[in-house]
Amino acid sequence: MSHMSFAHPYFGAFFSMFLAFFIFLGIMVAARLISRSLSAKDGEKLKLTIYECGFPATKQSNRISTHFYLFALLFILFDVEIIFMFPWAINFKALGVFGFVEMILFIAVLVIGFAYAWNKGALEWHNIK
């Protein structure tokens, strides 16, 4: 049976790190509890009232289409994948045939994803009405 040795050179650093983390956590919890117990709770209604002018806030339905989100997501996805082609283009000769085949497979996956998105109608622009 072997026992745990405290003679490791980084033991003190790890112990100090964990000790500092738990002290920080304790201070944060204590500060939150103290601030909640000392705060005035009777001013909540006044905080929620309208200041000087304006109409009371009403909940409105979300009129932004999810199509914008999907379009932006596809743009970012294909944009980031195109960025991966720059290092390949710089080291084209050094990578040889293996690098060429890998890039052909990468481009094939891009084309399949683009065709799938096109087929599902993700790239068609719709009017919001």
Report the pLDDT value the prediction gives residue 22, as an integer from 0 to 100. Answer: 97
Cα 84 versus chain centre, distance:
20
With a CB cutoff of 8 Å and minimum separation 6, the contacts of 102 are 95
Q: What's the confidence (pLDDT) of residue 72?
A: 84
Q: What pLDDT does 21 receive?
A: 96
DSSP 6: S
Residue 129: pLDDT over 60: no
Q: For residue range 108-120, what is the model confidence (pLDDT) as tens digits?
A: 998 998 899 889 8
User: Over the stretch 47-101, which tens digit does the pLDDT of each residue have?
Assistant: 666 666 666 666 666 667 777 888 888 888 888 888 888 888 888 888 889 989 9
The CATH class given to the 66-119 domain equals mainly alpha
Predicted pLDDT of residue 8: 77
**Each residue of 1-46: pLDDT tens digit?**
456 666 778 888 899 999 999 999 999 999 999 998 887 676 666 6
Query: For 97-106, which contacts have Cβ atoms below 8 Å and span 24 or more sequence positions?
Result: 106/81
